[in-house]
Amino acid sequence: MTPVELSRTVLHALRAAVDAGELRGVAVPDGRAVRVERPRPGGCGDYATNLALQIARAAERSPRQVAEVLSPRLAAEPGIAGVDITGPGFLNITLAGSRAAAAAELVRRVREDGHCYGHVHPDTGELAQLHAPRELRAVVLADSVRRILRSQGTLVRVTCDAEPPAAWADRLGVRVDACGRPPEPMPTPRPVPAPAAATLRLGRDAARWALLHPAPHDHPRVTPEQGGDGHLVQRESNPLFRVRYAHARARALSRNADGLGFDAAPGEVDAPELLDAVEAHPAVLDAAARHRAPDRLARHLVRTADALLDLQGSVLPRGDEKPSAAHRARLALAEAAGTVLAGGLSLLGISAPENL
């Protein structure tokens, strides 16, 4: 839609509101008088118009009240994906098919799906059996693959050569459905093993991350000599800390925004790396399931967390700055990224604390 076509669309919405008696005393201006332009700082979308400010006096209403009358009519016009009201009554218009519209729709989808974003519903009817040797890393890998496959609609049965020690279930949350060697050879994951005693001392979250973040053919770092204690430190050098911290920051941003009196609203956001990471989440889950590779999901969570931490500084207003549509859109994206992180961590069997 060109600016000229959009100007006519705005005029059509105004004429409809006047004809319906929603705006009395307003003379419908000539089409050339309806000006649309790129949003100014604090605005959002593809174009904006100050029409509500122009006709507010004639309508004997505030500009914002006029904008609230025009907004739903304009949003219903063909070719328009959404309308946001900013400032005293500017109408910010997002065109259908634009990147801004796609970003807003992506965030809305994550907000609707929650932790199930990227999951497949209903079940596909596919069945999978995972068999693991009685080795800690192999059992943890099978347990996480089970979770990821279930997220993609596959029913899964996990078996093990022999009953795993109770400590593996108690400390790391793994479980198997049956024990014993299969009568016929089965595809069995055989990652580079890790010493059980050194792994268990790390605790559930750090231990599972230490075993799942590296590719199966890579050696995990679990002993102190290997730097395994690095999974426990709360520093930027620790990828697990960055992922969990980014999730906690997303939750903190929501709480702080609530304290400032505004909430999230999907809209245009200049954060291509974070948008790409959130958008890629369903494809990452699909690939992790097909390749039986939780490490793909773990690396994707690190990428998402780093992009979110880059955005966090611009989410909340600073100083005397008033919350704008841009702040609400950034908050919505940050919340969506936090949802992706929490959902992904749960598939790895790792907790996502609200505070860290």
CATH class assigned to 3-97: alpha beta
Can you state the angle between helices 325-347 and 272-290, rounded to 10 degrees? 20
Alpha-carbon distance of 332 to 195, in angstroms, equals: 43
User: DSSP 3-state helix, strand, coil percentages of the chain (rounded to 5)?
Assistant: 55, 10, 40
Rounded to 5 degrees, φ, ψ at 60 are 55, 45
Please name the amino acid found at residue 103.
Answer: A
User: Can you give the pLDDT of all 356 residues of the chain as single tens digits?
Assistant: 777 788 889 999 999 999 989 988 888 876 566 888 888 777 788 889 999 998 899 889 999 999 999 999 999 998 898 899 988 899 999 888 777 778 888 999 999 999 999 999 999 999 999 999 999 999 999 999 999 999 999 999 999 999 999 999 999 999 999 999 888 888 888 999 999 999 999 999 999 999 999 999 999 999 999 999 999 999 999 999 999 999 999 999 999 999 999 999 998 888 989 999 999 999 999 999 999 999 999 999 999 999 999 999 999 998 888 999 899 999 999 999 999 999 999 999 999 999 88
Give just the sign of the alpha carbon dihedral 319, 320, 325, 326: negative
The C-alpha angle with vertex 331 and arms to 67 and 345, in degrees rounded to 5, equals 145
| Residue 101 CB-density burial (10 A; 0-12 exposed, 13-18 middle, 19+ buried) | buried
Nearest CA-CA partner of 333 in 96, 100, 116: 100
Alpha-carbon distance of 208 to 76, in angstroms, equals: 49
- What pTM value is reported for the model? 0.77
Return the residue matching tokens 């304009």. Answer: 74
